[in-house]
Amino acid sequence: MINGVLHPKKVIAQLVKHRVSHYVTLPDSETAHMYEALMAEPSITIVPVSREGEAIPVAAGLFVAGQNPVISIQNAGLYEAGDALRGLALGIGLPLVMFIGYRGHNRKGDTPDSAATFLEPFLHMWRVDYFVVESNHDLDRVPVAFERAAKTNQPVAVAIGTEYAKTEDSGDQSKGIKE
């Protein structure tokens, strides 16, 4: 089971540290509170999309224009975005960190949710490196994802394995991010 919580502000601190300019997203149940917290971060522009398959092409355009985007979509949406991942991320060598909501993550217990069942096999099949983040304790994996994407010119996934906490005072037991 997961210990601790995941605070959006700690993830946002990582995005700011890595000079992220745009957060291209379709909100999902895991990341809903991230959206609210990001609205208070002036250095990052939120780009809401209508369908997950738009997120990677929008990010590709932003990157070509000299910006530094990330995307945030749910695992079920990643499956919908498969052709965009193929053609406009893997195919062009796009260094892109993709935050993927791990809906139905089975470490919370037995799950009938196939959205969770297929996420890691899907990422393996597409040869996408990934890191699972389940609480603030795991946030040192985020800079590794940014470094890996930049080094390899390939997309790298950060699977968000829990729902973001709503506020900073909701029982966090972690020591936060290592700076």
Partner 1 sequence: MITYADACRIINDSRGDAVAVTTMTQTKYWNQVSQEPDLDIGIANAMSKASSVALGLALGKPDRSVLCLDSDGSLLMNFGSLATIAGMAPKNLYHIVFNNGIYAITGGQPVPAPGVQYAKAAEACGYASTYRFDDTESLDSTLPRILASHGPVLIEIIVKGEPQSEGVDQTWESNAKMPLQLRALRKRLTGTDDWFSGGPYI
Task: Give me the half-sphere count of Cα atoms (radius 13 Å) on the Cβ side of residue 142.
Answer: 27
| Site map (CB under 8 A) of partner 1, residues 100-139, x = contact | ----------------------------------------
CB of 51 to partner 1, least distance (A): 5
Range 18-47, binding partner 1 (CB under 8 A): 22, 24, 45, 47
Name which of residues 55 to 84 contact partner 1 (CB under 8 A).
57-67, 69, 83-84
Nearest CB to partner 1, comparing residues 15 and 165: 15
> Nearest approach, Cβ of 153 to partner 1 (angstroms)?
2
Residue closer to partner 1 (CB basis): 16 or 92: 92
Q: Which residues bind partner 1 (CB under 8 A)?
A: 22, 24, 45, 47-51, 53-54, 57-67, 69, 83-84, 87-88, 90-95, 152-154
